[in-house]
Structure 1
Amino acid sequence: MGSNADPRIRRDADRYTGGVLLSSADRHWRGLSAELRCHPAGEIPAYVASVTQIAILVRGTSVVDRRAGGVRQRIVGLRGTIGLCPMGVHEDYTYVSKPIDEMLHIYLAPSAFASLARHTSRDFNAASVRYEAGFNDRLIEVIAAEVLGELRFETSCGDLMVEALADALAVRLLNNYSSLSVDPFRTRRGSKGLDPRRLQRVIDYIQTNLTKEITVEELAAAAALSRFHFSRMFKSTTGQSPSRFIGLLRLELAKTLLTAGRSMSEVARDCGFSSESNFVRSFRRATGVPPGRYRDSTRK
């Protein structure tokens, strides 16, 4: 992992001998980090997990043996097979019997569990997650697909989307794969969205801070809601996730800045991208034309 990564995550990731195909190290993600890796056959050294790790097989098949706390597991994996290694677990060994083509490793930070505990006044923590592997979970697969998509093609609101995904992943692990086996936030049918005053406060905040980093916590505070309820209620009201809503506003901002003659690097920075090249690629995917051509066409 690169210089922006949490040192705890770097320690966990450095145990692997396989190649890194994609990494979030140069992104300013909150709540989780991720790597797409290939793994050669062989033994992976023992370690104590510094963060909760979720591994999802993306391409190929796998046969992995591992042991922790006296529990031995043999995982025969196909696409979508998931393995969990919770924070604090001492894994005695992991042996990969055959090379793995592509595996997504999601490193879930303790902050996701700490935020959940703070908003519910319950003792939710990563230590309650079970050491489990060899299963499939459609929701985790969807979250992993969103994370992988952001790794491959950065968007202007990837950090916000990933922060919300980290929250959703923490809730899913506690609900389905922990000693607690409780849903911290039971969804009520027919739950209402944001009332007009709350929605307007959120929109005002977004417009005021469109060129700055925006967090889920800040948006939830503008609406006077828990961060774990805000995203669902915002989407119920607008039909879009907060990251999608802000992304569309930033796309229009990018067009305005380009038309005004701002440099590509300035536009990329003001619209939340980690690099100019990622901005160019994202703009072209969204509009069908490169930003340079768009700028030239509007200034004729």
Structure 2
Amino acid sequence: MTQTGKSVFGYLKDTSAAVQESYLDLGFGRYGAIWTNAKDHVRYEKLEGHTFSWYARGGQGVFRVDGDKREGRPGAFCIFPQGQTSEWDITGPLEMMHLYLPSDELRRCYSEMLDRDGQLLDLADVTYADAGDLARAFAEMLVATRTGQSLRAEEAMTELVAGVLKDQRFHGLSVQPLRGGLSGRVRRQLTDYIEANLDQVIRLQDLAAIAGLSEFHLQRAFKQTCGVSPHSFASHRRVERAKLQIRQGAPLIQVSDACGFSSQSHFTRSFKAGTGVTPAAYRKAVA
């Protein structure tokens, strides 16, 4: 069966051969899932989003037909980058841990973690690499996904993404010329301003003034460089600050005000959209 323009998750949901054992929403379009399979032939075309895949059990008898036909194995690591086309034969049992990430989310992480223009990220197409130090984070994510522990899964996800982005085997610098975007100096000025004003209303016109651009061009340039819009970037930072303050024991009403949410309901909606759980559930998990 062939699917076009879907994520790996979207495809596997539609096939009867793969069985989804567990699923966990991690917010901002990120999620983890555990799959089992035993006999299948699959072809993905122009996949949407990125997938990090780890063979927790089995994998022998799984071959990438369009590649060098190496065989899978327990502990093997694959990357399905956005836009990838690949074809696989599955002739033996396996259990896989998958982490799904929207392309703009990974560019945001790349920009934040490596202090680089997000347009430079060129994620590699990886088949059966040695997971190395990533194996521990994958194992953590598998347990957390299976048991519904959102905080534990999010911590493992952060470690995984950082590990992939810091390992030159898994990505390179895009050879495509940069189009538009922000200089490193202006990007840092904008992100520093957002960070310093999370408890306030952040206006596009103020960001545009800092960058010396029109509001329209500021939006486009910010998304090109940071992977997400200014609004989405601020939402990420507000949720991260809220998580920190909740872990420090601050009352939820105080957290909502300190992080710039317009109301308790806005806080709850935004926090759940960014973490997969409500602020109250998060507080209980970290207590």
Q: How does 1:152-231 map to 2 (within 5 A)?
A: 152-155=148-151, 168=162, 171-172=165-166, 175-178=168-171, 202=195, 205=198, 217-218=233-234
**Structure 1 residue 56, shift from structure 2 partner:** 1.6
Q: Does structure 2 conserve the Cα–Cα contact (< 8 Å) formed by 1:113 and 1:124?
A: no
Q: Does structure 1 conserve the Cα–Cα contact (< 8 Å) formed by 2:72 and 2:128?
A: yes
Q: Which residue of 1 aligns with 2:10?
A: 11
Structure 1 gaps, min length 5? 1-5, 182-197, 223-240, 258-264, 288-300
CA distance in 1, matches of 2:199, 2:138: 25
**Structure 1 residue 286, shift from structure 2 partner:** 3.5
Q: How does 1:111-150 map to 2 (within 5 A)?
A: 111-112=104-105, 114-115=107-108, 116=110, 120-121=116-117, 124-126=120-122, 128-139=123-134, 141-142=136-137, 145=140, 149=144
Q: Which residue of 1 aligns with 2:22?
A: 22
User: Residue 168 of structure 1 aligns to which amino acid in structure 2?
Assistant: A
User: Residue 149 of structure 1 aligns to which amino acid in structure 2?
Assistant: A
Cα deviation, 1:184-239, whole Å, max 9, x if unaligned, reads xxxxxxxxxxxxxx999746525889xxxx988328999xxxxxxxxxxxxxxxxx
**Structure 1 residue 166, shift from structure 2 partner:** 7.8
**1:123–1:42 Cα change, 3 Å:** same
Structure 2 gaps, min length 5? 175-190, 203-229, 257-263
CA distance in 2, matches of 1:141, 1:133: 16
**Structure 1 residue 253, shift from structure 2 partner:** 1.3
User: Residue 120 of structure 1 aligns to which amino acid in structure 2?
Assistant: R
Q: Does structure 1 conserve the Cα–Cα contact (< 8 Å) formed by 2:55 and 2:73?
A: no
Q: Which residue of 1 aligns with 2:213?
A: none
Q: Which residue of 1 aligns with 2:98?
A: 105
Q: Which residue of 2 aligns with 1:50?
A: 48
Q: Does structure 2 conserve the Cα–Cα contact (< 8 Å) formed by 1:268 and 1:276?
A: no
CA distance in 2, matches of 1:272, 1:145: 23
TM-score, normalised with respect to structure 2: 0.55
Q: Does structure 2 conserve the Cα–Cα contact (< 8 Å) formed by 1:44 and 1:94?
A: yes
Question: What SS is found at the alignment partner of 2:27?
Answer: coil
**Structure 1 residue 42, shift from structure 2 partner:** 0.2
TM-score, normalised with respect to structure 1: 0.53
Q: Which residue of 1 aligns with 2:88?
A: 93
Q: Does structure 1 conserve the Cα–Cα contact (< 8 Å) formed by 2:61 and 2:71?
A: yes
CA distance in 1, matches of 2:272, 2:237: 24
User: Residue 19 of structure 2 aligns to which amino acid in structure 1?
Assistant: G
Q: Does structure 1 conserve the Cα–Cα contact (< 8 Å) formed by 2:54 and 2:98?
A: yes
Q: Which residue of 2 aligns with 1:76?
A: 73
Q: Matched residue pairs, number?
A: 225
**Structure 1 residue 129, shift from structure 2 partner:** 0.3
Cα deviation, 1:145-193, whole Å, max 9, x if unaligned, reads 35863772235x988x7996686366246x2224559xxxxxxxxxxxx
Q: Which residue of 1 aligns with 2:208?
A: none
Q: Share of identical aligned residues, percent?
A: 8
Q: Does structure 2 conserve the Cα–Cα contact (< 8 Å) formed by 1:66 and 1:91?
A: no
Q: Which residue of 2 aligns with 1:295?
A: none
**1:286–1:34 Cα change, 3 Å:** closer
- Between 1 and 2, higher relative CO (CA 8 Å, sep ≥ 6) is seen in 2
Q: Does structure 2 conserve the Cα–Cα contact (< 8 Å) formed by 1:76 and 1:134?
A: no
Q: Does structure 2 conserve the Cα–Cα contact (< 8 Å) formed by 1:43 and 1:96?
A: yes
User: Residue 13 of structure 1 aligns to which amino acid in structure 2?
Assistant: L
**Structure 1 residue 34, shift from structure 2 partner:** 2.1
CA distance in 2, matches of 1:270, 1:178: 34
**1:281–1:45 Cα change, 3 Å:** same
Q: Which residue of 2 aligns with 1:232?
A: none
CA distance in 1, matches of 2:255, 2:170: 47
**CA-atom RMSD in angstroms:** 5.0
**Structure 1 residue 9, shift from structure 2 partner:** 5.3
Cα deviation, 1:261-296, whole Å, max 9, x if unaligned, reads xxxx96993683479997666544434xxxxxxxxx
